[in-house]
């Protein structure tokens, strides 16, 4: 899933001068919908890119995967401005967006 996501988003990132770094992608069996997870990852990575383009930030998006027992933790980080305090409590509301 990570490599397929990279293939989709990396040309878009490269066009904008954003570097994608992925670590910890050792394959393991997971029970999930690959299309849905790939779409979620793509959205997170492209949102990170958008945040980086809004200012003078290091243009790096870092994705890491970590096995936690039977679960897998995936982190998508960027060096952008972060989420403004006034909307942090709303980010998990259905259909909430700042775009």
Q: What pLDDT is recorded for position 25?
A: 66
Any residues with CB less than 8 A from the CB of 63 and at least 6 apart, and which?
2, 20, 21, 22, 23, 41, 45, 74, 75, 76, 77
Q: Which residue positions in the chain have pLDDT lower than 70?
A: 25
At 53 the pLDDT is: 94
Predicted confidence at residue 99, as pLDDT, reads 73
Give the per-residue pLDDT at 62.
Answer: 97
pLDDT at 63: 96
Long-range contact list for 27-36, CB < 8 A, 24+ apart? 28/67, 28/72, 30/72, 34/1, 34/4
| φ and ψ at residue 94, rounded to 5 degrees | -60, 135
Please state the pTM of the whole predicted model.
0.87
């Amino acid at each position: 899933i990570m490599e397929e996501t990279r293939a989709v988003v990396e040309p878009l990132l490269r066009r904008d001068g954003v570097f994608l770094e992925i670590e910890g992608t050792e394959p393991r069996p997971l029970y999930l919908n690959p299309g849905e997870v790939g779409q979620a990852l793509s959205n997170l990575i492209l949102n990170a890119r958008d945040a980086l383009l809004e200012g003078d930030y290091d243009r790096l998006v870092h994705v890491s995967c970590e096995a936690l027992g039977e679960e897998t933790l995936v982190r998508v980080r960027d060096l952008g401005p972060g989420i403004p305090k006034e909307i942090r409590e709303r980010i998990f509301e259905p259909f909430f967006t700042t775009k």
